[in-house]
């Protein structure tokens, strides 16, 4: 069964360092997302990406965050200068729906980021 | 009012019990509704979509009330393996762009006891 894969599964970093989280969405999907979940809290939308550009982003997704699809398969989330409050599980998701109503999101297993 | 609001629980029920979760959403323009399940420290996974007419999948029944902006999930004959957090998920129409985003409730924690 096709799946979304994410690396690394866990990254520990020092405050102020840059972090890149990588995702390989399901190959024929068109829409890609990053969500985050701080421990014990709800899943929060960060950004959606379609046709090689950001489609929608939340207030959380400030100038410290960027996304890229560099090679047609990987979808990356970069945090330029990490803060303590960036510690969370980051989920990549993709969907194959072609517009209109939202369909099922397929999530990766997540990348746990710990900022010290 | 929160965009998607759920009773956080926890709900602790014995095996075989019937349990119901409720969810309200604030944006009347929302068009798609889902229940996702999340096991501890795992990714969310789709449990079922919620259709206007209500729908059933085995022991699970989902209902939608657009007038009250209310969604429910009923689990019958609960199993130990049903223990998880159940997330109410609603699509929020975008302010711009084409990719609608899904907004998650905080989840309702269920523990089924032997």
Asked if residue B27 lies in contact with residue B4, where contact means CB atoms within 8 angstroms, the answer is: no
Which tens digit of pLDDT belongs to each residue from A28-84? 888 899 999 999 899 999 999 988 899 888 899 999 999 999 887 899 999 999 999
Sequence-distant (≥ 6) Cβ neighbours of residue A63 within 8 angstroms: A80
Q: For position A102, what pLDDT does the model report?
A: 55
Work out the minimum CA distance from B35 to partner chain A, whole angstroms.
10
Query: Which residues from chain B sit within 8 angstroms of residue A103, using beta carbons?
Result: 32
Distance between first and last Cα of chain A? 37
Which tens digit of pLDDT belongs to each residue from A68-116? 998 878 999 999 999 999 999 999 999 876 554 556 889 999 999 999 9
User: Residue B56: pLDDT above 80?
Assistant: yes
User: Residue B97: pLDDT above 70?
Assistant: no
Q: Compare all CA atoms of chain B with the CA of A103 and give the residue at the minimum distance.
A: B32
């Amino acid at each position: 069964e096709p799946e979304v894969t994410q690396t690394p599964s866990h990254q520990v970093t020092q405050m102020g360092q840059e972090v890149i989280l990588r995702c390989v969405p399901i190959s024929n999907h068109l829409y890609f997302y990053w969500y985050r979940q701080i421990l014990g809290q709800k899943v929060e939308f960060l950004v959606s990406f379609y046709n090689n550009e950001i489609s929608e982003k939340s207030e959380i997704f400030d100038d410290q965050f960027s996304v890229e699809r560099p090679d047609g398969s990987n979808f990356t989330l970069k945090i330029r200068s990490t803060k303590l409050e960036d510690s969370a599980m980051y989920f990549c998701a993709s969907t194959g729906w072609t517009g209109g109503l939202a369909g099922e999101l397929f999530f990766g297993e997540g990348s746990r980021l710990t900022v010290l | 009012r929160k965009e998607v609001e759920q009773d956080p629980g926890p709900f602790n029920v014995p095996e075989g019990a019937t349990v119901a979760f409720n969810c309200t959403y604030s944006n009347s323009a929302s068009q798609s509704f889902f229940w996702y399940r999340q096991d501890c420290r795992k990714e969310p996974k789709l449990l079922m979509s919620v259709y206007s007419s209500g729908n059933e999948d085995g022991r699970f029944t989902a209902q939608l009330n657009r007038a009250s902006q209310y969604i429910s999930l009923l689990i019958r004959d609960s199993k130990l393996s049903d223990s998880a957090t159940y997330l109410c998920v609603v699509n929020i129409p975008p302010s711009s762009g084409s990719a609608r985003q899904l907004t998650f409730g905080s989840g309702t924690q269920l523990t089924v006891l032997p």
